Every structure is written in structure tokens, then in C-alpha cells.
Amino acid sequence: MVDWTPKPNLAVDLKRLSLSAEEGFVLSRLDGGTAASHLPALTGLPPERLQAILQRLVEQGALQPPPSAQRAAAAPASPPPSQEPPEVSEAPEDEEPLEAQANHRQLFETRLHPLDENTRQARAHAAEEPELSAFCFDPVPAVIKAVLENPRVGLGHARLIVRHHRHPVGLEAVCAKAAFAADGGVRRWLVRNPQLPGGLFRRLWSTRRLMELHKVMADRDIPEGTRRTARELLRQRFNSGPSEEKVELILHTEGRCLLSLSGLPVDGKTASLLCGRPYRSSLLIQNIARWTAAPPALIAHLLKQDAVRQQPQLRMLLARHPHAPADARQNER
């Protein structure tokens, strides 16, 4: 499977597309941040079948084309020999360059901030560039709300606001618009904002994949309060989340997530999925051996793995587990 990150096309009304049940299922699992190579574990579909489904979703406009296809479409068929190659920006494709952000901030501080709040609010309603982007740096929630009511406002402005605005009311106003709240760039900067309310995080991330919650919890660039809320939500969702997501989380973190999930058992389907695969990673086996809630069937399955048979220390760890088979514990005495 060609690896890329499928991103839903927010500009398309999905209700007007003729999607099959299978295509709709795959589309529902996409969050704009998961690579295609991770989707087989998430959906249970083989890579070849997934590749065909993703291609059909791109053709119907439900997904943005892969970057390679976008570059091919944008590239001229035969550029003139004298034409110099375009400069490549170091900033991500969905981010405004830092120099432009600095210019907008300077414009706000020198020309707009000296105005009184009511004047700024009225002016933000009908502002055009570059003033519209400059108003995104306003610290007053009422002005931010006026920016969001401006018919010219777009995703770029929403990303600027959640990155630089430091008032929970303004952040709530941005996320009141579904298209903004669903945008990956908005979410990326929102969780890094120290003023993100815990209630807003819970509303936006309560339906996200377990793996995404774990990434927030483990990211040292995210404020401690948000990471703590992500950990609490991860534990809640782990109890009720899909079995496939639980397995994906455990495997892709090599069991590191289990430290945050101590004391939480898994359902029968999750245990069955975990027992249906071979294990070669020593780190993963060690972390499962230290997981007190690991199901007995999984411990018994790990004891049969070649990696465990070849490494006595792994077998000893598993034999000491409270759910280890009685014969394994006796053999280690």
C-alpha cells in the first residue's frame, strides 16, 4: 500500500455522494492525521482492498488527493527552459509563514490595538486583508467573535486565532464552527494553547481514536493540564472504545500506553485480537508482562512465542504475572 495520510475534503457535501457502505465505513475512520499504512489495523480490511477504496473516495471528491497527485496536477506540462524552479516554503502547507504572522501581529499592535474595543469590534466585522489577519491577534473575545462573523474568514484565520488567542471564550467561538473544529491545523494548535478549556477538549476529542488521545497525552509540547485531561479521557474511552482501536493503541505504542491504563481490563474481542498475532518485540512483551490486567489467554499466548522461548528473562517476567498458567509459574520456581 502506498503510504500517505488520507484527509477528508471538507468542501464536499458527503450527502450528495454515492458511497457504498464499505466506503462510508472507511471514510468514518479517517481523521486527517492517520497514515494509510495504519488503516488495516484500524478497519480490519486488507491493504489491497483499502487502497482501492481510498482511490475511489479520492475520485469521488470525498478525500483530498495524495500530495504526489496534487503536485502532478499543479506542475506545468513543459515549463520553459529559462523558468526558475519555485521556492519551497519550509512551513507546512497549511500554515502561514512565520514572517507573515509577525507582520500581522505588528500591524495589530501599531495600528489596531490603540483603537478602543468597540471600534475594533465594528471594524473586524468588515475587515479585509491584511487587517483581517491582524485582528486574529486581538486579546478580546468580542473582537474575535466579530472576526469569525466576517464573510471573508477562513481556516487560516481560525488557525491564527487558536494559536495566539489567550481567552477560553474566543477559543470556544472558533470551535463553534464545525468546519474549523474538524480541521487538523486548528486542532494541532488548539491543544497547545494553555487556555484550552477542559470541557471543550472533551467535546472535541471524546469521539476521536484512542491513538490520537494517546498522542496528545504523550506530547511534551502540550500543556500539562490538557495532557492530564487527555489521559482521563483515554481511560474512559478505553473502557468503551472499539476493540480494533484498543489493539492498534497497544501495538503501535509497543505497550507503552499500558502504564496509563493500569487496572483497566479488556473485553473478550480485544483479547482474541491480541492473541491472534505473533509477537517479536521484546519491549512490547515486557510491557504486557507488567500489565496486571492482561488477560490470561494473552499471557499463555505470549509464553508460546519464539521470542519468549529464546529469552529466559521474558519467560520469567510472564511466569510471574498473576494471570500466568499454573504450570508456567511452577517451572520458574
Q: How confident is the model at residue 11, as a pLDDT?
A: 67
The amino acid that residue 200 corresponds to is L
Would you call the peptide bond into 130 cis, given omega within 30 degrees of 0 as the criterion? yes
Interacting residues of 247 by C-beta distance below 8 A, sequence separation 6+: 41, 270, 273, 274
The pTM of the whole model exceeds 0.75:
no
Q: How confident is the model at residue 83, as a pLDDT?
A: 40
- Closest listed residue to residue 41, CA positions, set 311, 301, 312, 244: 244
Q: How confident is the model at residue 96, as a pLDDT?
A: 65
CA–CA gap between residue 238 and residue 242 (Å, rounded): 8
Q: Which three cell numbers stand for residue 113?
A: 490595538
With beta carbons less than 8 A apart as the criterion, state whether 196 and 170 touch: no
The one-digit pLDDT tens for each residue of the chain (333 residues) are 557 888 887 667 676 777 787 887 788 778 677 788 878 777 778 888 888 888 888 888 888 888 765 555 445 444 444 343 333 333 344 466 777 788 889 999 999 999 999 999 999 999 999 999 999 999 999 999 999 999 999 999 999 999 999 999 999 999 999 999 999 899 999 999 999 999 999 999 998 999 999 999 999 999 999 999 999 999 999 998 899 999 999 999 999 999 999 889 999 999 999 999 999 999 999 999 999 999 999 999 999 999 999 999 999 999 999 999 988 766 665
Q: How confident is the model at residue 36, as a pLDDT?
A: 83
